[in-house]
């Protein structure tokens, strides 16, 4: 009889072994375990604090833990759930036997006897109903898991998939949800709470069952102390820690960055950024404050970007707060191409310094002018005749910079921008023309801030030959360095000019205060008041701001100085005090130029010293200085036919062309120009030397609109060096009249081609052809 029982037992064991072996052979592959699990997208700060998260596709908050689990949590969960985890093969026979005895004794399931591996097997099958058959299947799957995964991998999978309350899955999710910190920064009490929570996740409620849960936690803490993992003092202090009374709120303002990173990195779930959370919170409050003010003018969107001295993104506000329900609030404006306005002017200025085309003091023409069909205007609708190039940058004058780009070359500047990271220039240089410098192209706040940061990095890191690539997060594998084809000396001189830009409000008097921030900055405004920009740099930081409407709707007073600049300086005040840029003397040199116009000193003009890049070979001599013969009074020009040579005085005169002189003297009371000839001396100057048309432009096609009284007149203008001259006007040989002092004539010609002629008292005449369109 005993032999028969033994035979049957061996047969049953053999069958059971074959069933187990067969099940294991046809069991799921390693990749199939949790391989299709949907994870939350998570953004962590520079200190691994949760600053933004996006719920998983299945509606669960599931934040994966990457790397080794914290030692405190591992000790707590193994002691609580599975003391024999390190040696068993997926199931613990003793624990299963004890559980079976207790369940039979009580007539219901009071203990499962499951190991961590068996619990993981159960989680892999979406928690099926508890039956003895299901328990058997758990054992088989647990053995399979032990074969296919290491102990550390099993524990990590378990920790990532255990429920921790509500729709929150995984202990890392619990660590952030309840405590606002990553798992490795939790205390013993917090780690113990997460260890006991999966056993009864429904116990953690903001208002009930708190005593039961705390008792479970404290019992585990006592066991941890009994095992020697903590001191008695640590135990007492840990028991004093209260349970969380509410979930830890996720920081606001970083969702746009998370969405952008998720779109760029589809297979990545957790992003370790360089975002400084306190700074990000301040930027969010700034955006919220200004967003309310901007709403009064129907301006819905804004963006702020902050880079540190290592060119890492430490602050990122992609748009107005989502809770304000504004149009376009989901758009990440930091990455959206917009018209650049005037933001490219500093780089043209620096490149022209490097190319020996200008010095900071060189005068650039600022008069009404058209370049084919392109007719730029200064923002203030005024003309200065001629301005130093540095002043043109400080005041962001459009006409001088159109002239400068024409001189430098559109193709050259277009190439510089593309090679410096402006990837949004997807058309050839000819497509943009001279409008390239005045907002005719588009770029993003990210790329423009990057460009300014390259210039600032070069000046603040004078001992380094390369510029690191900008970093959005720690997992980037981009190229290590980037290009910037502007010399150190030119970059410094450009920044030096930008430091003189007048600041808004009380910031305008920053130099009067001790410790005033020495910021180089620039604003920009696009055509139609659609985009307002402000970007500022210091040796430590670059801050970029954009304000406008995501759909491109323009608004009155939507300008860089009025809307973006105040936000810029509020953001700068959220940063530590910045030091000044060091002067790179080794990449600069001093040259002598004429004080009045910034050209190389010659013929004895009054000299001034100016710094230029060391590579500059600027040799242009002054076109505005000439020697004239004056009478003994020094007030009038004379020549040998009307004055004795012995009575003549020779003087070097600074004299601009007629149109430039016409506007220049309005801003410079000291400007005298060329003295007139004495009455008894014939004026030897040619017509083009003394007068010129301001309007019409050469070969103009003029459209004259109708007003309420019929066709309106067109006002033609002429500039004459001798302000008291009388000019006579003729249209197609028909006398129109004469002007004194202010040489403007309103004319209403018929459609067709015409010729306008102006004659002064000395008989000098100038003419210009134009066409009136029908």
Q: What is the 3-state secondary structure (H, E, C) of 596-660?
A: CCCCECCCCCCEEEEEEECCCCCCCECCCEEEEEECCCCCCECCCCCCCHHHCEEEEEECCCHHH
477: which DSSP letter? Answer: -
Helix (H, G, I), strand (E, B) or coil at 442: strand
In the block, residue with structure tokens 């020549």: 639
Residues 309, 315, 318, 321, Cα dihedral to 10°: -160
Does an H or E element contain 567, and which?
helix 565-572
Question: Would you say 128 and 122 are in contact if contact means Cβ atoms under 8 Å apart?
Answer: yes
| Exposure string over 139-152, b if 16+ CB within 10 A, otherwise e | bbbbbbbbebbeee
Of 81, 138, 156, 391, the catalytic one is: 81
Question: Would you say 471 and 449 are in contact if contact means Cβ atoms under 8 Å apart?
Answer: no
Pairwise CA distance, residues 757 & 768, whole Å: 7
Q: How many CB atoms lie within 10 A of CB 355?
A: 18
Cα 193 to the center of its chain, rounded Å: 42
In the block, residue with structure tokens 């000046």: 459
Q: What angle do CA 143, 147, 152 make, to 5 degrees?
A: 100
Strand partners, 651: 628
* Alpha helices, H only, 91-131: 93-106, 116-124
Helix (H, G, I), strand (E, B) or coil at 754: strand
Q: How many CB atoms lie within 10 A of CB 428?
A: 10
Pairwise CA distance, residues 225 & 233, whole Å: 10
Q: What angle do CA 548, 551, 554 make, to 5 degrees?
A: 50
Here the tokens at position 774 are: 């029908």
Number of Cα atoms under 13 Å in the Cβ half of residue 724? 3
Among this protein's residues, is 81 annotated catalytic?
A: yes
Helix (H, G, I), strand (E, B) or coil at 279: helix
Q: What angle do CA 540, 45, 284 make, to 5 degrees?
A: 75
How many angstroms separate the Cα of 247 from the Cα of each of 323, 448, 543? 19, 39, 33
Pairwise CA distance, residues 129 & 565, whole Å: 63
Among this protein's residues, is 227 annotated catalytic?
A: no
Strand partners, 52: 43
Spell out the residues 6+ positions from residue 347 whose beta carbon is closer than 8 angstroms to its own. Answer: 413, 416, 417, 420, 451, 455, 486, 494
Of 342, 389, 526, 692, the catalytic one is: 342
Cα 315 to the center of its chain, rounded Å: 9
Residue 532 burial (C-beta neighbours within 10 Å; 0-12, 13-18, 19+): buried
Q: Which of 274, 273, 304, 307 is nearest to 456 (CA)?
A: 307
Residues identified as active-site: 81, 342
């Amino acid at each position: 009889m005993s032999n028969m029982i033994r035979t049957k037992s061996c047969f049953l064991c053999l069958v059971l072994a074959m069933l187990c072996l067969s099940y294991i052979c046809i069991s799921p592959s390693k990749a199939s375990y949790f391989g299709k699990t949907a994870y939350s997208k998570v953004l962590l700060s520079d200190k691994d604090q949760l600053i933004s998260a996006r719920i998983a596709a299945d509606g669960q908050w599931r934040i994966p833990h990457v790397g080794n689990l914290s030692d405190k949590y591992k000790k707590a969960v193994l002691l609580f759930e599975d003391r024999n985890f390190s040696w068993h093969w997926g199931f613990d026979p003793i624990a299963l036997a004890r559980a079976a005895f207790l369940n039979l004794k009580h007539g219901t399931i009071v203990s499962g006897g499951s190991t961590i591996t068996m619990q993981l097997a159960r989680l892999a099958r979406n928690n099926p109903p508890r039956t003895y058959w299901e328990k058997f299947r758990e054992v088989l799957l647990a053995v399979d898991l032990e074969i296919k995964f290491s102990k550390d991998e099993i524990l990590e999978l378990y920790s990532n998939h255990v429920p921790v309350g509500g729709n929150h899955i995984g202990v890392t999710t619990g660590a952030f949800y309840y405590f606002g910190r990553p798992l490795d920064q939790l205390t013993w009490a917090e780690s113990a709470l997460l260890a006991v929570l999966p056993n009864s996740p429904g116990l953690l409620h903001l208002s009930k069952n708190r005593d039961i849960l705390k008792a479970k936690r404290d019992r585990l803490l006592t066991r941890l102390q009994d095992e020697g993992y903590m001191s008695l003092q640590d135990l007492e202090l840990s028991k004093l820690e209260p349970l969380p009374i509410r979930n830890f709120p996720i920081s606001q303002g970083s969702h746009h960055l998370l969405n952008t990173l998720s779109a760029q990195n589809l297979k990545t779930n957790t992003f370790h950024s360089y975002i400084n959370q306190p700074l990000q919170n301040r930027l969010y409050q700034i955006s919220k404050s200004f967003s309310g003010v901007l709403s009064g003018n129907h301006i819905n969107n804004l963006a702020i970007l902050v880079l540190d001295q290592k060119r890492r993104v430490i602050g990122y506000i992609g748009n107005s707060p989502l809770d304000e329900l504004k149009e376009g609030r989901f758009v990440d404006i930091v990455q959206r191409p917009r018209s650049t306005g005037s933001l490219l002017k500093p780089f043209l200025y620096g490149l022209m310094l490097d190319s020996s085309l200008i010095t900071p003091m060189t005068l650039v023409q600022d008069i009404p002018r058209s370049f084919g069909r392109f007719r730029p205007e200064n923002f203030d609708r005024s003309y200065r005749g001629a301005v130093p190039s540095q002043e043109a940058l400080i005041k962001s004058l459009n006409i001088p910079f159109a002239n400068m780009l024409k001189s430098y070359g559109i193709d050259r500047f277009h190439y510089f921008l593309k090679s410096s990271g402006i990837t949004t220039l997807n058309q050839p240089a000819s497509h943009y023309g001279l409008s390239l410098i005045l907002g005719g192209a588009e770029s993003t706040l990210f790329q423009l801030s990057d460009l300014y940061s390259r210039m600032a990095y070069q000046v603040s890191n004078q001992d380094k030959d390369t510029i690191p690539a900008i970093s959005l997060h720690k997992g980037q594998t981009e190229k290590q360095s980037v290009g910037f084809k502007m010399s150190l000396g030119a970059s410094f001189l450009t920044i030096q000019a930008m430091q003189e830009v007048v600041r808004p409000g009380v910031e305008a008097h920053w130099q009067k205060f001790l410790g005033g921030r020495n910021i180089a900055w620039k604003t920009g405004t696009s055509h139609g008041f659609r985009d307002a920009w402000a970007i500022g740099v210091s040796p430590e930081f670059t801050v970029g701001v954009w304000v406008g409407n995501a759909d491109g709707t323009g608004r009155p007073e939507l300008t860089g100085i009025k809307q973006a600049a105040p936000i810029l300086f509020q953001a700068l005040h959220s940063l530590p005090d910045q030091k000044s840029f060091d002067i790179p003397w080794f990449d600069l040199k001093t040259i002598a130029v004429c004080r009045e116009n910034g050209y190389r000193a010659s013929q004895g003009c009054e000299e001034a010293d100016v710094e230029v890049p060391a590579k500059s070979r600027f040799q242009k001599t002054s076109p505005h200085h000439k020697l004239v013969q004056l009478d003994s009074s020094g007030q009038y020009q004379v020549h040998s036919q009307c004055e004795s040579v012995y009575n003549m005085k020779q003087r070097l005169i600074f004299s601009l062309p007629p149109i430039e002189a016409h506007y220049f003297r309005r801003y410079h009371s000291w400007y005298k120009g060329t003295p007139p000839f004495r009455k008894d001396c014939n004026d030897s100057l040619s017509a083009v030397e003394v007068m010129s048309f301001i309007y019409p432009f050469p070969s103009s096609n003029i459209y004259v609109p109708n007003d309420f009284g019929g066709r309106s007149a067109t006002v033609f203008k002429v500039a004459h060096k001798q302000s008291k001259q009388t000019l006579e006007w003729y249209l197609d040989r028909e006398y129109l009249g004469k002007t004194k002092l202010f040489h403007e004539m309103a004319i209403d010609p018929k459609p067709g081609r015409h010729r306008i002629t102006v004659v002064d008292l000395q008989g000098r005449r100038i003419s210009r052809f134009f066409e009136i369109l029908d």
